Copies of this chain bind each other. A is one copy, B any other.
Amino acid sequence: MIPRYSRPEMTAIWSQETKFRIWFEIEAHATDALAELGVVPAEAARTVWEKGGPAVFDVERIDEIERVTKHDVIAFLTHLSEIVGPEARFVHQGMTSSDVLDTCFNVQLVRATDLLLKDMDGLLAAIERRAFEYKDSVCIGRSHGIHAEPVTFGLKMAEAYAEFARCRTRLVHARDEIATCAISGAVGTFANIDPRVEEHVAEKLGLKPEPVSTQVIPRDRHAMYFATLGVIASSVERLAIEIRHLQRTEVLEAEEYFSPGQKGSSAMPHKRNPVLTENLTGLARMVRAFAFPAMENVALWHERDISHSSVERMIGPDATVTLDFALARLTGVVDKLLVYPERMVANMDRLGGLVHSQRILLALTQRGVSREDAYRLVQRNAMKVWDSYQRAGAADVDFLTELLADEEVRAALSEEEIREKFDLGYHTKHVDTIFRRVFGRS
């Protein structure tokens, strides 16, 4: 988590202030439940809220106490007693530190996920807008980086939309995974605390009680959570790489936004680098990498060991802050992406109409020309076009013209028939179908 790749709202979730505030809420809700059960005085629970509720916990003071006690939760409770007074002794009864730490970590992850879901909604909205904007802008589809058949830029956006819609669903599942609360005591047996305390705290915090914990909340939940973030990061990478490809000089079908001012100031107008999407590519690598230690955290020894803790102190903030930043940055890139439909057509046309060779071949065979002959006819015209393209990167021979001038071809196909095979509408006729599938409208 470095400032350069952080946004304040997400960073705030991981601040010491937020952490202590959540600790307070867990303790105060638990005290309420203990009071309800008659374990501690109702008066005590009320006092905790009254004095602790409006209080600002002093991070430095808590650190100071921790340097003596070498225990963070005890340091917090000591500070709490400074604020609440003697009633504070009724707080935390029968609980273990992990009850507070693990539940707090999950609250933080839930809040982080809610932000990520908001990010995702923003991204989806941006993609959807651009998808409809360019629904019918034809561009060449490329397999293996080689021109294949036409698609539209809107379709590319529809694919991205469908992918991030899946990511959104995954994020909802991931949120469910970690939205649990454990207040179960030393080794999770509720020996010292009634399970109803857990139920109460869970409800108040919008969590579900962890069915069975072992002092800690089981880490397969977190492994699944961070693995999901890793998959989402991979989808971020995919769209980023698509844009980087579209922006490369020879393609230039789209560009990351630059202000007219930026443009005006440069003596090298060609040197506009896709630095945002390159940056996203790198950030995706990081978020993905964090999935690994999260998986290694699962196999804690017996009822718990604390090896997961140092990992989570790092990846908890790092993965969520980085992904939040990445989603927001990607949203901005998509939202303001400069799209060049004319250039898309120009790029396709530079191959002189070769993209239609398959349709001509098919038409010839359907007219009874043998497969070998059809190949020969198409090929001898295609090669003229290709040779001129290959030399200079733009064909100065036109496939349609050549075909129309080829007597053998014309013997099988009329001019009208040949021209019809060059109709781009053939390729885009189901764009609406696909849009309805993806967006529910077209």
Contact = CB atoms under 8 A, between A and B. Distances in A.
Contacts of A299: 234, 237-238, 240-241
Interface residues of A, number: 143
Interface stretch (A51-59, A108-116, A117-125, A157-165): A157-165
A39 interface: no
Copies of this chain, tallied across the complex: 4
Interface string A177-199: 10000000011111100010000
Interface centre among A209, A285, A428 (most CB of B within 10 A): A285
B309 A433 contact: no
Contacts of A186: 141, 143, 148-149, 358
A418 interface: no
B211 A437 contact: yes
A156 to B, nearest CB: 8
A240 to B, nearest CB: 8
A173 B220 CA distance: 15
Interface stretch (A17-25, A77-85, A244-252, A407-415): A244-252
Contacts of A300: 238
B343 A391 contact: yes
Interface in A271-285: 271-275, 278-279, 281-283, 285
Nearest to A244: B145
Contact of A346 (B247, B289, B354, B391): B391
Interface stretch (A26-34, A40-48, A379-387): A379-387
A176 B212 CA distance: 27
Given A224-B228, A267-B358, A278 B302 contact: no
A298 B241 CA distance: 11
9 contacts: A2-B314, A143-B303, A148-B215, A149-B186, A155-B212, A227-B230, A270-B351, A286-B293, A346-B393
- Nearest 9 A/B pairs, CB to CB: A141-B187, A145-B248, A144-B273, A282-B310, A285-B293, A234-B298, A269-B386, A142-B302, A250-B250
